[in-house]
């Protein structure tokens, strides 16, 4: 399970909401439309969105760690 410090929940939620509404936000042409897209957040499935974001981060972190280990191993191989 991925543990997130409580101070990072709201920033993560903000990024998740923007990502979830990305297509609508990219099609607007003025600030009023942006506000309209983000006005009603009550229908958003907050917990599933956060879980999805955390799972993606955990997968990315795992890949970064695997790459670091593989790179470290490759540096230790001596070619003759």
- 42-67 pLDDT per residue, tens: 888 989 988 888 887 777 666 666 55
Backbone angles phi, psi at 42, to 5 degrees: -65, -20
Dist. CA 8–CA 10, nearest whole Å: 6
Check residue 78 and give its pLDDT.
47
The per-residue pLDDT for 4 is 65
Res 80: pLDDT: 42
User: What's the burial of 25, exposed, middle or buried (CB within 10 Å: 0-12/13-18/19+)?
Assistant: middle
User: What pLDDT, on the 0 to 100 scale, is given for residue 72?
Assistant: 52
> For the chain, what are the domain ranges?
6-76
> To 5 degrees, how large is the angle CA 19–CA 9–CA 55?
60
Residues 59-78, mean pLDDT to the nearest whole number = 56
């Amino acid at each position: 399970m991925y543990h997130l410090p409580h101070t990072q929940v709201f920033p993560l939620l903000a990024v998740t909401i923007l990502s979830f509404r990305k297509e609508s936000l990219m099609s607007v042409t003025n600030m009023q439309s942006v506000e309209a897209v983000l006005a009603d957040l009550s229908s958003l499935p907050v917990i599933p969105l956060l879980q999805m974001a955390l799972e993606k981060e955990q997968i990315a972190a795992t890949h970064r760690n695997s790459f670091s280990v593989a790179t470290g191993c490759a540096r230790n191989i001596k070619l003759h």
